Structure 1
Amino acid sequence: MVDSMGLFHEPQEIGITSDQYVKELAESINIKVSQEMLDSIVREVVEEIGVPASSLSIPTFSGISRRNLNLRPTAFFFIKCSLDSKEVQQFYSSAQDGYESTQLYAVPMVEVENMASRMPSCHRGGFALYKLMVDNRKIT
């Protein structure tokens, strides 16, 4: 079948011969998109903090929070780093995109909890998601 613009709409015209093939193709695309999303998160951390990718765990999706002001959603992921804070600071000093921030702090959890009330609403939500994950999985 060809529409008014001359585009084909018959799957067999491009080699799709069964619904199973369409399902397998969709699953393959979903896997590739998911992997690219996780890889891009790791790339961002590597570029902005400077730590090697080999020191990072696979990102774990922790949830979505939204701003109260404009309702914009933000996805949050957890990544564990095998380096200590001094090593991270050393890498940060020469990070490729370190200019995107002014300083990196290692802050005890108690201080983060105290700062939470001054965070933007979506970040408070992200912190709450992290706390739920820690409480449920005992992540340290």
Structure 2
Amino acid sequence: MDPEVSLLLQCPLGGLPEEQVRAELSPAYDRHPLPGGDKDIAAIWETRLQAQPWLFDAPKFRLHSAALAPSDCPGPELLLCLGLTSYRDFLGTNWASSAAWLRQQGATDWGDRQAYLADPLGVGAALATADGFLVFLRRSGQVAEAPGLVDVPGGHPEPQAVCPGDRPQHEDLPGELVVRELFSSVLQEICDEVNLPLPTLSQPLLLGIACNETSAGRASAEFFVQCSLTSEQVRKHYLNGGPEAHESTGIIFVETQNVWRLQETQIWAELCPSAKGAVLLYNRVQGCPASVAPGSPTQSPPL
């Protein structure tokens, strides 16, 4: 396993649809205040704002734990235990120079390495085109995380999308609506970042949860989404720009039949940890990559 990424949970083969995922919101799943108080978080935030004034704080869901269990539905059910956190707290804990110490102290104080960390839950998509390619994006130099690296489309589910307001509370966030936001947010990120029409995208299947070890174990739910467009059609939509076109500088296509050996190629070193997690889960949960459809390209389109 690559030291930059670990797998917290792997879903059964094929992935889980929205109907087989539940969410439970509780203050018990929030992070603990830092030893000595949270003043260091405020100081880190102010420093980051001076360097990157376009950053803004917003509420996020915090992943405390996730577990598969039997259910009345065909196949198992996934339970997500979620708290609330913020982007400010994420930069002030997971990305703090003291993050490794916070993990060690969390294990000592609470028996949980993540106890003091914001750990906002991200989402990412292994997005497949109709002619058998996975879609990757070259991140711009202006983004706060992994500038210049290669990523899959993704972002965060938003508590404010479930309950508008500055600071939604746990009791304002019904579990079924939170799950709906989790699944719909990954589609919205694809639409915004790749500029694809929503009707061209399949319903997401959850592949599992990967942890970014370069940001102290921050978790991301990774999905599989099928697009009805070919790689060249996807490229044209991307080049026309979208609401979040500023977040990337280029689009890259990799044949699905070659994704299983991506770790052997140069591009692996350029993938950010969340993309590595999406690839690892795609290979494990989707099984052997499907063959490219007859008549489709046999080489990746030019980057």
**Could you state the TM-score of these two structures normalised by the residue count of structure 1?**
0.68
Residue 77 of structure 1 deviates from its aligned partner by: 1.1
Q: Is the 8 A contact 1:68 1:122 kept in 2?
A: no
Residue 117 of structure 1 deviates from its aligned partner by: 5.2
Specify the alignment match of 1:31 in structure 2.
176
What is the SS of the residue equivalent to 2:249?
coil
Residue 49 of structure 1 deviates from its aligned partner by: 0.5
Alpha-carbon distance in 1 for matches of 2:209, 2:280: 11
More strand by share: 2
Residue 73 of structure 1 deviates from its aligned partner by: 1.5
Residue 29 of structure 1 deviates from its aligned partner by: 2.6
Specify the alignment match of 1:132 in structure 2.
284
Residue 74 of structure 1 deviates from its aligned partner by: 1.8
Deviations 1:41-67 (A, max 9, x none): 111110111110000011111111112
Give the gaps of 5 or more residues in structure 2. Answer: 1-170, 292-303
Give the gaps of 5 or more residues in structure 1. Answer: 1-25
Is 1:83 equivalent to 2:229 in the alignment?
yes
Specify the alignment match of 2:38 in structure 1.
none
Alpha-carbon distance in 1 for matches of 2:219, 2:195: 27
- State the one-letter code of the partner of 2:252: Y
Specify the alignment match of 1:51 in structure 2.
196
More helix by share: 1
Deviations 1:95-128 (A, max 9, x none): 2211110001112242671233553444323211
Q: Higher relative contact order by CA 8 Å / sep ≥ 6: 1 or 2?
A: 2
Identity %: 25
Q: Is the 8 A contact 1:63 1:129 kept in 2?
A: yes
What is the SS of the residue equivalent to 1:125?
helix
Single out whichever of 106-115 and 39-48 deviates more from structure 2. 106-115
**Could you state the TM-score of these two structures normalised by the residue count of structure 2?**
0.34
Specify the alignment match of 1:41 in structure 2.
186
Root-mean-square deviation over aligned CA pairs: 2.6
Alpha-carbon distance in 1 for matches of 2:247, 2:286: 28
Instruction: Give matches, 1:59-138, under 5 Å.
Output: 59-69=204-214, 70-94=216-240, 95-109=242-256, 110=258, 113=262, 114=265, 115-116=267-268, 118-135=270-287
Alpha-carbon distance in 1 for matches of 2:272, 2:194: 22
